[in-house]
Amino acid sequence: MSIKFDAIIVGAGPAGLTAAQRLASKGLKVLVVERGRKPGSKNVYGGRIYAHVLDKLYPEYVKEAPVERWVRKERISFLTEDSGTTIEFETNNVEHKSFTASLSDFTEWLGKKAEAAGAVIISESPVDSLVVKEGTVVGIRSGNDEVYGDVVISAEGINRLVLERSGLAPKLEPQMVGVGVKEVIKLGRKVINDRFNVDDDEGVAWAIAGFSTHYVPGGAFIYTNKDEITLGLVIYLGHGSKVDVPVYDMVEEFRLHPFINRLIKDGQLLEYSGHLTPIMGLNASPPSLYGNGYLVVGDAAGFLLHGGIIIRGVDFAIESGRVAADAIIKIHEEGGKYDGSSLSLYGNMLEESFVMKELRAFRNAHRALDEPRLYNDYAKFINAFLKRYFDVDGTPRKIFSTFKETKGNLTILDMMRDMTKVVTNL
């Protein structure tokens, strides 16, 4: 192939496709190279997208995008083998906040947007490496083909082999990521409405800690789509040595927990997936987010805000793709010299956007979330406490005596220390 593109994008996910759509709409010649059959066929996530960024960039999404349900209920649970404690928040104001979606569908939709703007998407082509000449990235290599572009955007996702092979990112360390496993289970719209007590277009987002991961740091999730639910868990790989059953069995034990199993009775499994997810935010970023001839967006850049209960990847991916495109458009208009110093514009514009503002605010979140007690001692304690407290048998149950009886190995000092960590870092 001898055509030269203004920009080449590695990976047709939310970040890459947003960059592609924006660049193409300004008349740049854009190529997106994707390893899957079509955009979305290798993407996996938990289940929900925060919509604020779409209101700005794709305002037509409300009518067009494959939205499943608008999240109306947020649930947080601590689960043990025989008990569960849940906080449920419900609101009437659900429009434009967050929605559940199938990421494969949603990404495919973004792909159509990019193509409609004029971007070229080549699927079934895994990029093997970047073509680097005299210290500058000048293109990509896929099999025997080399394709050249003025600038290359790595939007390859968290398993960033291309950046690693080019020496632009170190090998991922276990503590930087979690492994997610997920099941998509068909129940039918009416069954979901009844069992989760929601109307047709309203959904539930549910985070579950404790037994769901066998008390190992990580968490489980359930989201309601229109006709399916998605159910899964994430294990922080820095704590991977603590799992006592394989993750593919763990997710089944969670699904078969009596409180969960009754919600998915007579369901039908439609898909089983697994994926890595960044859990350390900017601490998992490559040493540089841009350099001579390239820049990095989305998960590959570590742009995922993991705040324990709130997990946001797609909105950060989309916004970083938008920022990358805007930086490139400006440089293109000024003559198109994409060296590290001109691309620092991307870094500066990121700082101005919510991407860096929010990720910097949560840069130490992992310090709180890495505390094993959160997933173990506290999950057990809160359930033991309430179980004892409500177990009326004619002996006095005052709060403090019940607390002392059920706190297990937790000390008041631990609790104060952990509370401080949570409050200061999250």
In the complex with another protein, which residue's Cβ is closer, 114 or 247?
247
Shortest Å, Cβ 63 to another protein: 22
Q: In degrees, to the nearest 5, what angle opens at C-alpha 201 toward C-alphas 195 and 203?
A: 50
Question: Do 426 and 362 meet the contact criterion of CB atoms below 8 Å apart?
Answer: yes
Shortest Å, Cβ 104 to another protein: 4
User: What's the length of the chain?
Assistant: 426
In the complex with another protein, which residue's Cβ is closer, 10 or 28?
10
Shortest Å, Cβ 31 to another protein: 16
Q: What mask of x and - would describe binding to another protein in positions 149 to 188, judged by CB under 8 A?
A: ---------xx-x---------xxxx--x-xxx-xxx---
- Is 145 one of the binding residues for another protein (CB under 8 A)? no
Return the structure tokens found at 72. 């109306």
Question: Do 410 and 378 meet the contact criterion of CB atoms below 8 Å apart?
Answer: yes
- Is 249 one of the binding residues for another protein (CB under 8 A)? yes
Query: E strand or H helix at 57, and its extent?
Result: helix 52-57
Shortest Å, Cβ 180 to another protein: 8
- Is 124 one of the binding residues for another protein (CB under 8 A)? yes
Shortest Å, Cβ 172 to another protein: 5
Question: Do 383 and 86 meet the contact criterion of CB atoms below 8 Å apart?
Answer: no
Query: E strand or H helix at 131, and its extent?
Result: strand 129-133
In the complex with another protein, which residue's Cβ is closer, 209 or 260?
260
* CA 169/CA 176 separation, integer angstroms: 13
- Is 247 one of the binding residues for another protein (CB under 8 A)? yes
* Residues in 11-40 at the binding interface with another protein, rule: CB under 8 A: 35-37, 40
Q: What mask of x and - would describe binding to another protein in positions 299 to 338, judged by CB under 8 A?
A: ----------------------------------------
How many CB atoms lie under 10 A from the CB of residue 170? Answer: 12
Question: Do 28 and 327 meet the contact criterion of CB atoms below 8 Å apart?
Answer: no
Sign of CA dihedral 103, 314, 287, 166: positive
Q: Which long-range contacts (CB under 8 A, 24 or more apart) does 169-173 make?
A: 169/286, 169/287, 169/296, 169/300, 170/286, 170/287, 172/276, 172/284, 173/238
H-state helical runs in 59-129: 61-64, 103-117
Shortest Å, Cβ 111 to another protein: 13
Return the structure tokens found at 258. 């009596």
Shortest Å, Cβ 264 to another protein: 6
Shortest Å, Cβ 395 to another protein: 39
Neighbour-count burial of 398, counting CB atoms closer than 10 A to its CB (0-12 exposed, 13-18 middle, 19+ buried): exposed
In the complex with another protein, which residue's Cβ is closer, 219 or 291?
219
Q: Which of 8, 51, 119, 243 binds another protein (CB under 8 A)?
A: 243
Strands 30-33 and 4-10: what pairing? parallel
Shortest Å, Cβ 375 to another protein: 17
* CA 298/CA 15 separation, integer angstroms: 5
Q: What mask of x and - would describe binding to another protein in positions 263 to 292, judged by CB under 8 A?
A: -xxxxxxxxxxxxx----------------
CA 289 to chain CA mean position, Å: 19
* Residues in 348-387 at the binding interface with another protein, rule: CB under 8 A: none
* Residues in 68-107 at the binding interface with another protein, rule: CB under 8 A: 102-105, 107
Strands 228-236 and 294-296: what pairing? unpaired
Under the rule (CB under 8 A), what is the footprint of another protein? 35-37, 40-45, 102-105, 107, 123-126, 143, 158-159, 161, 171-174, 177, 179-181, 183-185, 228, 230, 235, 237, 240-241, 243, 245-249, 252-253, 255-256, 261, 264-276
